[in-house]
Protein backbone atom coordinates (compact mmCIF):
# COMPACT_ATOMS: atom_id res chain seq x y z
CA UNK A 1 0.00 0.00 0.00
CA UNK A 2 1.38 3.42 -0.95
CA UNK A 3 1.28 6.70 0.95
CA UNK A 4 0.22 9.59 -1.31
CA UNK A 5 2.67 12.48 -0.98
CA UNK A 6 -0.31 14.79 -1.21
CA UNK A 7 -1.41 13.51 2.22
CA UNK A 8 1.79 14.98 3.72
CA UNK A 9 1.17 18.51 2.38
CA UNK A 10 -0.71 19.77 5.48
CA UNK A 11 2.18 18.65 7.71
CA UNK A 12 4.71 20.46 5.51
CA UNK A 13 2.58 23.62 5.65
CA UNK A 14 2.31 23.42 9.43
CA UNK A 15 6.02 22.79 9.86
CA UNK A 16 7.00 25.83 7.77
CA UNK A 17 4.38 28.44 8.69
CA UNK A 18 2.67 29.63 11.84
CA UNK A 19 -0.84 28.13 11.88
CA UNK A 20 -3.28 30.54 10.28
CA UNK A 21 -0.57 32.65 8.62
CA UNK A 22 0.96 32.51 5.16
CA UNK A 23 4.49 33.12 6.38
CA UNK A 24 7.54 32.94 4.14
CA UNK A 25 6.44 29.98 2.07
CA UNK A 26 4.04 30.04 -0.84
CA UNK A 27 1.78 27.00 -1.12
CA UNK A 28 -0.15 28.01 -4.24
CA UNK A 29 1.15 25.05 -6.25
CA UNK A 30 0.73 21.64 -4.62
CA UNK A 31 2.68 20.04 -7.47
CA UNK A 32 5.85 21.91 -6.48
CA UNK A 33 5.48 20.76 -2.89
CA UNK A 34 4.79 17.16 -3.91
CA UNK A 35 8.09 17.25 -5.83
CA UNK A 36 9.76 18.78 -2.75
CA UNK A 37 8.37 15.92 -0.64
CA UNK A 38 9.77 13.37 -3.10
CA UNK A 39 13.13 15.14 -2.88
CA UNK A 40 12.89 15.12 0.93
CA UNK A 41 12.20 11.39 0.80
CA UNK A 42 15.32 10.74 -1.28
CA UNK A 43 17.51 12.89 0.99
CA UNK A 44 16.30 10.86 3.97
CA UNK A 45 16.77 7.64 2.00
CA UNK A 46 20.42 8.53 1.39
CA UNK A 47 20.80 8.90 5.16
CA UNK A 48 19.64 5.33 5.71
CA UNK A 49 15.91 5.82 6.25
CA UNK A 50 13.26 3.84 4.34
CA UNK A 51 15.42 1.08 2.88
CA UNK A 52 12.31 -0.85 1.81
CA UNK A 53 10.47 2.13 0.28
CA UNK A 54 10.68 4.12 -2.95
CA UNK A 55 8.85 7.03 -4.54
CA UNK A 56 6.61 5.56 -7.22
CA UNK A 57 7.46 6.19 -10.87
CA UNK A 58 4.67 8.74 -11.20
CA UNK A 59 6.23 10.70 -8.31
CA UNK A 60 2.94 10.80 -6.44
CA UNK A 61 3.42 8.39 -3.52
CA UNK A 62 5.80 6.34 -1.40
CA UNK A 63 5.46 2.57 -1.76
CA UNK A 64 6.98 -0.45 -0.05
CA UNK A 65 9.04 -2.39 -2.60
CA UNK A 66 9.58 -5.55 -0.55
CA UNK A 67 6.25 -6.03 1.20
CA UNK A 68 2.85 -4.58 1.90
CA UNK A 69 3.54 -2.56 5.05
CA UNK A 70 2.69 1.10 4.54
CA UNK A 71 5.15 3.76 5.70
CA UNK A 72 3.97 4.54 9.23
CA UNK A 73 3.12 8.05 10.42
CA UNK A 74 6.35 8.53 12.38
CA UNK A 75 8.43 7.84 9.27
CA UNK A 76 6.15 10.03 7.17
CA UNK A 77 7.08 12.84 9.55
CA UNK A 78 10.77 12.21 8.78
CA UNK A 79 9.96 12.91 5.11
CA UNK A 80 8.20 16.12 6.20
CA UNK A 81 11.23 17.11 8.31
CA UNK A 82 13.72 16.64 5.46
CA UNK A 83 11.40 18.52 3.09
CA UNK A 84 11.04 21.40 5.54
CA UNK A 85 14.80 21.59 6.15
CA UNK A 86 15.49 21.67 2.40
CA UNK A 87 12.88 24.44 1.95
CA UNK A 88 14.28 26.49 4.84
CA UNK A 89 17.80 26.17 3.47
CA UNK A 90 16.68 27.24 -0.02
CA UNK A 91 14.78 30.19 1.48
CA UNK A 92 17.80 31.28 3.51
CA UNK A 93 19.93 31.24 0.37
CA UNK A 94 17.47 33.57 -1.36
CA UNK A 95 17.09 36.16 1.40
CA UNK A 96 19.05 39.39 1.16
CA UNK A 97 20.57 40.18 4.55
CA UNK A 98 22.05 43.58 3.78
CA UNK A 99 20.61 46.50 1.82
CA UNK A 100 22.42 49.75 1.16
CA UNK A 101 20.69 52.66 -0.54
CA UNK A 102 22.11 55.91 -1.81
CA UNK A 103 20.17 59.01 -2.90
CA UNK A 104 22.93 60.36 -5.11
CA UNK A 105 21.92 61.68 -8.51
CA UNK A 106 19.76 58.68 -9.24
CA UNK A 107 18.68 56.18 -6.63
CA UNK A 108 21.15 53.33 -6.13
CA UNK A 109 20.49 50.24 -4.10
CA UNK A 110 22.86 47.40 -3.29
CA UNK A 111 21.65 44.14 -1.83
CA UNK A 112 23.85 41.35 -0.51
CA UNK A 113 23.43 37.93 0.97
CA UNK A 114 25.31 36.97 4.10
CA UNK A 115 28.65 35.43 3.13
CA UNK A 116 28.78 33.66 6.49
CA UNK A 117 25.37 32.09 5.95
CA UNK A 118 26.28 30.94 2.45
CA UNK A 119 29.62 29.58 3.71
CA UNK A 120 27.88 27.64 6.49
CA UNK A 121 25.29 26.21 4.10
CA UNK A 122 28.05 25.16 1.70
CA UNK A 123 29.93 23.50 4.57
CA UNK A 124 26.75 21.66 5.59
CA UNK A 125 26.37 20.34 2.03
CA UNK A 126 30.04 19.28 1.98
CA UNK A 127 29.46 17.41 5.25
CA UNK A 128 26.40 15.75 3.69
CA UNK A 129 28.44 14.62 0.69
CA UNK A 130 31.19 13.28 2.95
CA UNK A 131 28.62 11.30 4.94
CA UNK A 132 27.08 9.93 1.75
CA UNK A 133 30.54 9.01 0.44
CA UNK A 134 31.27 7.05 3.62
CA UNK A 135 27.95 5.22 3.29
CA UNK A 136 28.63 4.39 -0.36
CA UNK A 137 32.31 3.44 -0.09
CA UNK A 138 32.72 1.79 3.28
CA UNK A 139 29.34 1.28 4.78
CA UNK A 140 25.79 0.33 4.19
CA UNK A 141 25.87 0.58 0.40
CA UNK A 142 29.32 -0.91 -0.21
CA UNK A 143 29.52 -3.70 -2.75
CA UNK A 144 31.99 -6.54 -2.60
CA UNK A 145 33.72 -7.40 -5.83
CA UNK A 146 35.36 -10.74 -6.45
CA UNK A 147 37.48 -11.65 -9.46
CA UNK A 148 37.89 -15.23 -10.62
CA UNK A 149 40.83 -15.94 -12.83
CA UNK A 150 39.22 -18.47 -15.16
CA UNK A 151 42.42 -19.04 -17.12
CA UNK A 152 44.24 -20.29 -14.03
CA UNK A 153 41.21 -22.33 -12.96
CA UNK A 154 41.00 -24.02 -16.40
CA UNK A 155 44.76 -24.58 -16.57
CA UNK A 156 44.83 -26.17 -13.12
CA UNK A 157 41.88 -28.40 -13.99
CA UNK A 158 43.51 -29.58 -17.23
CA UNK A 159 46.79 -30.35 -15.46
CA UNK A 160 44.91 -32.37 -12.87
CA UNK A 161 43.13 -34.34 -15.63
CA UNK A 162 39.66 -33.05 -14.81
CA UNK A 163 37.23 -32.96 -17.74
CA UNK A 164 35.63 -29.69 -16.65
CA UNK A 165 37.12 -26.85 -14.69
CA UNK A 166 33.68 -25.72 -13.51
CA UNK A 167 32.31 -27.60 -10.54
CA UNK A 168 28.57 -27.48 -10.49
Residue 45 CA to residue 50 CA, distance in Å, equals 6
Under-50 pLDDT residues of the chain: 168
Residue 116 lies in a domain: no
Number of domains into which the chain is organized? 1
* Alpha carbon distances (Å) from 95 to 90, 92, 111, 114: 9, 5, 10, 9
Question: What's residue 146's pLDDT?
Answer: 59
Helix (H) or strand (E) holding 45: helix 30-46
111-150 pLDDT tens trace:
777 778 778 877 887 887 787 777 666 665 555 555 666 6
Question: What's residue 150's pLDDT?
Answer: 65
Residue 160 lies in a domain: no
Question: What's residue 57's pLDDT?
Answer: 93
Residue 24 lies in a domain: yes
Residue 158 CA to residue 153 CA, distance in Å, equals 9
Residue 32 lies in a domain: yes
Residue 35 lies in a domain: yes
Residue 120 lies in a domain: no
Residue 64 lies in a domain: yes
Residue 148 lies in a domain: no
Question: What's residue 139's pLDDT?
Answer: 62
Structural domain harbouring 32: 3-94
* Verdict on whether the full-model pTM lies above 0.85: no
Amino acid sequence: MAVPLEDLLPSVRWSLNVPGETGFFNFDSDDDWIEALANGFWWANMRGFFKDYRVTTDGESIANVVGTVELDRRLQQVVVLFTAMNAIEAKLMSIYTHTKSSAKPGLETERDRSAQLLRDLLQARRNDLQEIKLLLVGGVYATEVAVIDLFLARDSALRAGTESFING
